[in-house]
Structure 1
Amino acid sequence: MKKFKFACFDVEQVGPDTPLRLEVAARLAFPDGSIKIAGLRREIARGRLEYEVIAGKQFTTLADIKRMRERCRVKAKDLAFTSAQHSTRTALSERMPFGSSETVTGKSPRELLQARLNLNRQARQKKP
């Protein structure tokens, strides 16, 4: 593990409740540099990161950052499709073919149109 040396203290002296300036806290909690001071300030503004103001300076702790990370954690969504639903759908699709391009009656479109026209003629003839 890489040791960080800051100007005035040794990192090994830092505990979870040691007040740290935002820059130092960001460098310790996110050593890859993915979160900087601005990111911590945004989380403070959103109310997810607790902090203290001492002598006009903002401080936070590694424990506060840990709690912030827990608040920001995204929960995994439940699967919308389960194997039980799959077996039900499979049973239905075996009974009724979905998306079949074949007509159910086996008649051509021309024959279906002719039958419809005949029904219309019969309906007109029955009217007084």
Structure 2
Amino acid sequence: MVDIIPPEERPITLAEACREFFNDKLKPSSLRTEAKKGNLEIIPIAGKDFVTPAGIKGMIEKCRVKKSQQGSGSKQPEPEQKQPEPGTSKTEPPVSPQDALNTMLTGPKPPCKRTSPPNTDHQGTVVPIR
């Protein structure tokens, strides 16, 4: 008998793929999740789901973690530069002790002027709720 389907395209069940390629460390539901993400093509035949060895290998390549630049716009330090120590980030320059003392001695700033006068007009009628 002549094989018309090459081995890398021969359909296998999700359970067989989990056993053969992942030593049962993944379950068929994991492969379905990857299919939903677009990383794996599932072939439904007669109410059962199948994949191909080539499809599994393609999924592994798509899922492989690649070295990439950080997604934010901040500049990454050069490898020879020393990394800053982890800790809290500062958003304002520190206040000198002299400035802190001057602020305490002079007191707080006066409040801002009101932008609108207080509401003293009480012309509405009160309707009691029954």
TM norm structure 2: 0.48
- The structure with the greater share of residues assigned to helix is 1
